[in-house]
Each structure stands twice: as C-alpha cells, then as structure tokens.
Amino acid sequence: MKKLLLLIAFLAFANGNAQILDPAKWTTKIEKKSENNYILTFNAVIENDWHLYSQFTPDGGPLPLEIIFKNQKGNFNLVGKAKESKTRTAFNDIFEVNETFFEKKAQIQQEITITNSKLTEIKVDFNYQVCKEVCINVEKNFTFTIPAVSKKTAIVATDLTQIDSAKVDTVVSQTGTAEEQVSTPEKVVPIDSKPSKQRGLWSIFFIAFLSGFAALLTPCVFPMIPMTVSFFTKQSKTKAKGIRNAIIYGIAIIFIYVVLGFLVTWIFGADALNALSTNVWFNIIFFILLVVFAASFLGAFEIMLPNSWANKVDNQADRGGIIGILFMALALAIVSFSCTGPIVGTLLVEAASKGGIAPIVGMFGFSLALALPFMLFAMFPGWLNSLPKSGGWLNTVKVVLGFLELALAFKFLSNADLVLQLHFLEREVFLAIWIAIFGTLAFYLFGKITLPHDSPMNHISVGRLSLGLVVLAFTIYLIPGIWGAPLKLISGFPPPMTYSESPYGVGNSKGGSNASAQILPEGAHLGPHDLIAFEDYEKGLAYAKSVNKPILLDFTGYACVNCRKMEDYVWSDPAILKILQDEVVLISLYVDDKRELPKSEQYVSKETGKEIVSVGNKWSDFQITRYKANAQPYYIVLDVEEKMLSDKPESYNSDINAYKGWLRAGIDRFKKAK
C-alpha cells in the first residue's frame, strides 16, 4: 500500500496537476482512565489556510465531521459525545448557516467503556471535509489496540497520509510506525475548550449590550434608577462613599448576571450548547419559550418570580456593607424579572446556539449596560434632572421588544423545519409571518392599535413616529421577498431561496417560461442556471458522442462551498454561461452523494483499498483513480474519446477571464481536431 500511495504521488507530481489528498495529518492515542474506561484521542495538524469542519457544523451547510465506531455493538459504550478542541464559527453566506471549523490543529476526544473483556482493538472511521480554494471529502480509518491491563501505556499510531508542507501541490505519503509511550493513568490530554477570538463572540457581546439598554428602558427598571441613586447619595455620610457604594452596586449586578451565564455554560457544557443549536427539539422548545416571552411583553400576563423571594432578599439588603449592597442588586434582578427575564432568556438562547463561553459573554454585555447608568448617575447626580419622566413610553418599549421576540421565535421554528425538511415554514410563509408581525408593529407605533397596559394617547411623539416609519419601511422592504427578491439585509434569518415554494420567484419556474416545452436528454436534469447537466458519467459521455460536443467534467459536491461560488459568480457570467449552454456537455459528478449503490455495484477500490458503497464514493474513487486528485471543484475538458483537451485541469478560479480562456482553449482544440 505504501508503494502504491507513493506511486500515486509521483504520477500526480509528474503531471503537474496534483492535489493534496488530505491537508490534515492525524495521530491517535489511547489512554486508560479507569478499569474499563479509556480515552481515545485524535490529533490533527492542518495545513495553513485550510479548515476542517467540526461535527457541530449544522445541516444544510458544508459536511460536518462524522465519527463512526465500527465495532461498537456488544464491545463498548460511548461516554457522552466526542469533545472537540477550540473551533471557529463564521457565517457562510453561500449556505446561509453558521459553520464551525478547525484551523491549524484539531483534537477530538472520546471516552469509552469497554463491556467485552476479550476486545483487543477498536475501529473508528472519520468522514470529514476540508476546504481552502477547493474542498476535499476524506474518509480516514483508525485502529486502536487495547493496552495490556497490567501496563500503563498509550499507543500512538500515525496516519498513512502525511503532507510535505513545503510542497502544497505535491502529495507525499509515509507510513507511520506504531510506538509505545508510557503515560500516567487517570491523566488525559485536556481539551482546550476556550473558543477562539471570533466575530461571533463580539456580536453576542454587542447584541447583549444593546439588549441591556433596552431592558433599562422598561417599566420595571427605569423608575428604579433615580430611587436607587438617591438612596446611595442620601444614606451615605459622604459623597465619595455614596459613589463607592453605587459602583459596588453596579459591579454586583454584573456579577449576578455573569454567574448566571457561567452556570448555564457549566450545567450544559460548552460543547453540548453548540450541539444543541442544530437539535430539532432545542429549536422547537425555544420557539415556544420565545412566544411565551413575547406574549408577556405584549401584556397577556406577567412572568414573575415568587414575592417571597423578593421579600427575603430585601430583608437581607438591610444588613448594610458590601453584603447588603449585593443583596440589593439581587433584589433588583428579582423585582425586574418580569421585564428582564424574557430578554435574558432570549440572550441565553441565542448565546447557546454559539456554544463555548458565549452565555458568559452575553450576560456580561447585558449586565454592563444595565449597571452603567446606576454608577454614572451616582457619580453625577445632577444628571438625574435630565432623565425623562416615567410614563406610557416605557410600556411602548416593552411592547416593541415583544414584537421583536415574536419575530425571532420563528427563526428557531424555521431551523427545526429545515433540519426535518418538512417544508411547513418555507421562505414565502416565513416572510409572510414577518411582514404580518412588523406591519402590526408599525400600526401599533402609529397609534392605530392599543394593548392592555397602554396609556391613553391623544398624539404620538416625534420619536415614536420616526420609529414607526422605520418599521413600516422595513415591512415594505420584506414584501418583494415573496416574489423572489434576495433580501440581503436579513440574510441568514429566513430560509434560503432553495427552500421555497417558488425557488425562482413567484411566476417563474426552473428552465424559464419554456420549461414545459423543453425535452431533456435521457439521464439529464436542469442544473445551476438551468444548464442541462448529467450526474452519470456514462450517460453524459453517450450524449456527448451523439451531439459531437466536448465534455466539461465537473467534480463537485452538494456541500462544497467553493463549488457553489464558482457556479454563482463565474458560471453566471453571460460569456461563460453561453459557452456552457451551447458548446459543451456538462457532466457534474457529486462526490458527497450519499445514495447507496446497489449491492451488485459495490466494490473495493484498487487504488485506495476503501469500500465503495455510495454514489459519492464511486465518483470520488473515479476522480482519484483516473486523475490522481480528490479536490473539488475540479474541472476537465474532454473529447468524446475521453482524452483531456485542456493542458491541465482547473480548480477554483474566481477570475472570470482566466476561466473563460481555459475553457475556450479546450473547446478550440476539440474543434481543430474535428
């Protein structure tokens, strides 16, 4: 096998078009934790600029890491879900999901409990995707040997495929040698659970900070500012002491909410929170929860903690000193819960979907905004005179927050519907619900609708009118989305265009107005931009021979980000699109197609030794066997005799002119040979 892999590498290098078979180098280790428990550790070093997708990347995006324990049944049990080292989360505007991935290095740890005392080895398969300018779907097979009971050892085995980092276009394979290393039992390499510094945490912080100011402007909190500040300034013997007590009070508020965020992270676990974000029941439960919060804000009822809690805490606040101030802060949290509770709950839900320490960061941002006014007004009590008087406007703030909670709730319901592919909440339905919500909010702000706790109103203020106009403009902006407008301002909130009753807009259909009259060749379908495409190589080749056109062979993937970018931004160019429509036969082979091959068509690859059981396996093996590459996108121009017309294959290339020149060179060579 080693000689075979080296031969593949040499041939790929000699052809000048090699692709890295796997930009991740793996080592594995097994450690004994207790009598029957072991820790399996997988460490990867990832080539620069490449990223490997986490097992927590949500459905509908790039392929997540899949861990398969092949001989688990009757031999061992898994203890929880596999833990991961630090990952990065970023929004993918192609698939419209928050993808989670590793950069530079990755560590996966899985604890197991052995139930079969005769078990000697554990077999694990990894299926994952790594991407840079191209995407690569990889299957790795690992075998762990159970250490002898009497020895405290860790067995380390290296992966077969190693990458020469100095030559990113050359595949170099080495066979790792198993070696024994003495390790102390009970001590396992710790997982670094701290998330990387990412935009996701900053966005959580700023959203939480703004939410804290919103909570400040509710009827439960705002009136307490002058009361609390006056208490500190009047009860303190000196101005300096009053300021000091107010600052301690603010810090106590921050401490209480940060502890709440810490408890959520600690109880559920950073990894579990991230995993829950793609869980159907998680999304449904929080949809219901946010609807309840919204109803509370709109005045249907109030969510309150027991009065006995507030009374007990209030009694403790009379003790004085720092302890008394801490209980005063706790009393504020309890008394204002009917207003702050729904906001805090929503923040924790949103932060939970990010995973890691996001709940702690969110609570810090929220409490900082809540505490700052108490501290600042204590330092500058004269500012109290500039505060607006309490009144009906506070309830207006609360109602606006209720509408926002209601709109956000449907995002969670949409997530569940997308995962289950039920098509109950498709893009048009989602947008119709949002138009109804924000349209009603606009009517409310204009005074055309009143709710239970609203004060009588003879006129509307300039501020309320301005906010109403903004909401009305946003509502009107949403309306064209039902007819297919992209609505980039809210990208990522509604379902994607493809998850729609009319993916091409109302009144349009795939293939345009002549779709019904268009007769497709046998085995063909309408692909990107309504191009006639084949997903079967033999059928596409037969059609190319019948029409005597060259073939554009496209190795692609459903979850390949850069494949979609090429289709969206390069193939859509009028000059490229015309070539693809008129001058070539497009054969698109999806290497991540999970459909199982008939048993009679399944085989073991002579090139890699892997079992070929799915359609995607077949095309991936076809690419590796024939072209010594397994990266996508990967384009080749062929003649009808299957000979390469282009000087070299093309991969991801966002330069439209360069791609056109490459495509044109192959087609012109075909025409000259006719």
Q: pLDDT averaged over the chain? A: 77
What number is the average pLDDT over the span 444-456?
A: 86
Residue 105: pLDDT over 60: yes
Query: Whole-structure pTM over 0.75, yes or no?
Result: no
Q: What is the pLDDT of residues 211-245, one digit of tens each?
A: 887 777 776 676 667 767 666 666 666 677 777 87
What number is the average pLDDT over the span 540-551?
A: 94
What's the pLDDT score for residue 364? 87
**382 vs 370, residue with greater confidence:** 370
Full set of structural domains in the chain with CATH: 2-182 (2.60.40.1250), 199-390 (no CATH), 515-673 (3.40.30.10)
Residue 587: pLDDT over 80: yes
Q: Under the phi-then-psi rule, with left for phi > 0, alpha for psi from -120 to 50, and beta for the rest, what region is 146?
A: beta
C-beta contacts of 11-14 below 8 A and 24+ residues apart: 11/628, 12/170, 12/171, 12/628, 12/629, 13/169, 13/170, 13/171
**332 vs 648, residue with greater confidence:** 648
Closest CA to 39 of 195, 194, 183, 192: 183
Lowest mean pLDDT across 309-313, 347-351, 610-614, 659-663: 309-313
Q: What is the pLDDT of residues 272-286, one digit of tens each?
A: 544 555 567 777 887
| pLDDT-based confidence at residue 197 (cuts at 50, 70, 90) | very low
DSSP secondary structure string for all residues of 303-331: ----HHHHHHHHHHHTT-HHHHHHHHHHH
- In whole angstroms, what is the distance from residue 256 CA to residue 660 CA? 61
Eight-state DSSP code of residue 570: I
Q: What is the pLDDT of residues 549-572, one digit of tens each?
A: 999 999 998 878 788 889 888 998
| pLDDT-based confidence at residue 152 (cuts at 50, 70, 90) | very low
What's the pLDDT score for residue 517? 44
Residue 523: pLDDT over 80: yes
Q: What is the pLDDT of residues 619-658, one digit of tens each?
A: 999 998 999 888 899 999 999 999 999 888 998 888 999 9
What's the pLDDT score for residue 126? 92
| pLDDT-based confidence at residue 300 (cuts at 50, 70, 90) | confident
**484 vs 518, residue with greater confidence:** 484
> Position of tokens 């949002």?
434
| pLDDT-based confidence at residue 353 (cuts at 50, 70, 90) | low
Residue 208: pLDDT over 60: yes
Q: b/e per residue, 148-171, with b = 16+ CB within 10 A?
A: eeeeebbbbbbbbbbbeeeebeeb
What's the pLDDT score for residue 175? 32
Residue 670: pLDDT over 80: yes
Q: Which helix (H) or strand (E) holds 673?
A: helix 656-673
What's the pLDDT score for residue 269? 54
Q: Which residues contact 669 (CB under 8 A, 6 or more apart)?
A: 645, 646
